[in-house]
């Protein structure tokens, strides 16, 4: 079983010809509420990739919270440990997108910010039962640190996607088996610019020295760079016509975790993750774009 401890957000997406400046009002052309949040996206990606998945998180006591839980349950995800933070809104992303695909986004943590280490302890049964833990950084840092430490102590396979980019406490690295940043996140964590495969390898090697078992840097259309004690290996991405790259990283991580959990080796899991990401970017949106196992051959 894969346990995802992380965020659930409702994305409120408005399309407009041009983004408004301060004090300005413009007409929107369309509006959609779409379930998202990195934690929920990765949980859905793993479930659709064929894994048994449970999630620990917090939604608000509003209608969106119920919708977010129901969406995960429709994908067969165990949501018993997705609680309701009374008096708070659900996590929200207010997203404006213009005709040039430029966007401006305001994120409100809402219920996600109310997740505490005590909620992780209350879900000890799930932590004990899982084989793989997946975390990101959209819930409070104290929660993520506690989850990584507990899972590592229990001998679980620990995956950390350090997104959105933020410096990590030094102690965390040794608790992580697979650290999976994108180029921006790798650059911020390692403190060196990342613009190509060579600089990604330098950043990943610096991160590996801090203690994780492996570092996988996702390089967008350039694929994935794996760095471990044996050296570096590059896996090219599938050649596809990208339409909407939202949640490419989430698709990769969920499917990678699913393949690893059913016993695939790391190269197979990377290949599977890249297949899922390639399909996801040919479709619009975050969760609606995530592919099912039957589509992935
Ligand atoms: P994030 O969405 O977190 O920024 P990336 O952009 O690095 O992550 O994408 C994650 C993975 O998705 C890549 O490693 C690759 O496999 C796939 N991917 C992303 N963009 C493309 C693309 N344009 N063509 C093919 N694959 C892509």
Separation of CA 29 and ligand 1 centre (Å): 28
* Among the ranges given (4-13, 228-237, 281-290), the one the predictor scored with the smallest mean pLDDT: 281-290
Which residue's CA is the closest to the ligand 1 atom numbered 24?
A: 221
Distances (CA, A) of 137 to 6, 120, 160, 180, 221: 7, 15, 9, 12, 24
- DSSP secondary structure of 231-288: EEEEEPPP----S--TTHHHHHHHHHHHHHHTT--HHHHHHHHHHHHHHHTTSSSSGG
Separation of CA 72 and ligand 1 centre (Å): 23
- DSSP secondary structure of 170-208: GGGGGG-SEE--BHHHHHHHHTS---SHHHHHHHHHHHH
Looking at residue 141, its pLDDT comes to 98
Q: Is the CB of 132 under 6 A from ligand 1?
A: no
Q: Is the CB of 226 under 6 A from ligand 1?
A: no
**pLDDT tens-digit map of 170-198:** 999 999 999 999 999 999 999 999 999 99
How far apart CA 255 and CA 238 sit, in angstroms, is: 15
Looking at residue 102, its pLDDT comes to 85
How far apart CA 215 and CA 286 sit, in angstroms, is: 24
**pLDDT tens-digit map of 105-151:** 899 999 999 999 999 999 999 999 999 999 999 999 999 999 999 99
Q: Is the CB of 249 under 6 A from ligand 1?
A: yes
| 8-state DSSP, 217 | E
Between CA 200 and CA 163, with CA 285 as vertex, the angle to 5 degrees is 35
Separation of CA 239 and ligand 1 centre (Å): 11
Q: Is the CB of 65 under 6 A from ligand 1?
A: no
Secondary structure, 3-state, 88-121: CCCEEEEEEECCCCCEEEEEECHHHHHCCHHHHH
From the CA of 242, give the closest atom in ligand 1: 23
Looking at residue 285, its pLDDT comes to 80
From the CA of 224, give the closest atom in ligand 1: 14
**pLDDT tens-digit map of 37-73:** 999 999 999 999 999 999 999 999 999 999 999 999 9
Does the pTM of the predicted model rise above 0.85? yes
How far apart CA 278 and CA 99 sit, in angstroms, is: 24
Looking at residue 101, its pLDDT comes to 79
Question: What's the pLDDT band for 242 if we cut at 50, 70, 90?
Answer: confident
Helix (H, G, I), strand (E, B) or coil at 154: coil
Which residue's CA is the closest to the ligand 1 atom numbered 21?
A: 221
Which residue's CA is the closest to the ligand 1 atom numbered 3?
A: 249
Q: Which CATH architecture has domain 2-289?
A: 3-Layer(aba) Sandwich (3.40)
Looking at residue 244, its pLDDT comes to 83
Phi, psi for 61 (deg, rounded to 5): -90, 50
Separation of CA 247 and ligand 1 centre (Å): 9
Q: What is the mean pLDDT of residues 90-104?
A: 91
Separation of CA 116 and ligand 1 centre (Å): 31
Give 199: exposed, middle or buried? Use CB within 10 Å, 0-12, 13-18, 19+: middle
Residues marked as catalytic: 250
For the chain, what are the domain ranges?
2-289
Looking at residue 282, its pLDDT comes to 92
Q: What is the mean pLDDT of residues 153-166?
A: 97
Q: Is the CB of 274 under 6 A from ligand 1?
A: yes
How far apart CA 287 and CA 244 sit, in angstroms, is: 12
**pLDDT tens-digit map of 244-285:** 888 899 999 999 999 999 999 999 999 999 999 999 999 888
Q: Is it the case that residue 92 has pLDDT exceeding 90?
A: yes
Which residue's CA is the closest to the ligand 1 atom numbered 16?
A: 274
């Amino acid at each position: 079983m894969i346990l995802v401890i992380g965020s659930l957000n409702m994305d409120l997406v408005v399309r407009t010809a041009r983004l408004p400046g301060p004090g300005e009002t413009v007409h929107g052309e369309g509006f959609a509420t779409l379930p998202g949040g990195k934690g929920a996206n990765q949980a859905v990606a793993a479930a659709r990739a064929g894994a048994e998945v449970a999630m620990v998180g917090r939604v608000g006591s509003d209608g969106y919270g119920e919708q977010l839980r129901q969406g995960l349950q429709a994908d067969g995800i165990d949501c018993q440990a997705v609680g309701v933070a009374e008096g708070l809104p659900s996590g929200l992303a207010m997203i404006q997108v213009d005709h040039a695909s430029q966007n401006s986004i305001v994120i409100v943590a809402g219920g996600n910010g109310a997740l505490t280490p005590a909620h992780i302890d209350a879900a000890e049964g799930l932590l004990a039962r899982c084989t793989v833990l997946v975390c990101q950084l959209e819930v409070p840092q104290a929660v993520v640190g506690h989850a990584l430490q507990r899972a590592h102590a229990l001998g679980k396979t620990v995956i950390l996607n350090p997104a959105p980019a933020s410096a990590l406490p030094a102690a965390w690295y040794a608790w992580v088996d697979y650290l999976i940043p994108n180029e921006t996140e790798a650059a911020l964590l390692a403190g060196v610019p990342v613009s190509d495969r060579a600089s990604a390898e330098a950043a990943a090697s610096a991160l590996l020295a801090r203690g994780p078992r492996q570092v996988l840097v996702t390089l967008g259309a350039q694929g994935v760079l794996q760095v471990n004690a044996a050296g570096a290996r590059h896996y090219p991405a599938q050649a596809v016509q990208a339409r909407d790259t939202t949640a490419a990283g989430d698709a990769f991580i969920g499917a990678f975790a699913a393949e690893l959990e059913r016993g695939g080796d790391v190269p197979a899991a990377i290949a599977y993750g890249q297949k899922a990401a390639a399909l996801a970017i040919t479709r619009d949106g975050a969760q609606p774009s995530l592919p099912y196992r039957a589509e992935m051959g």
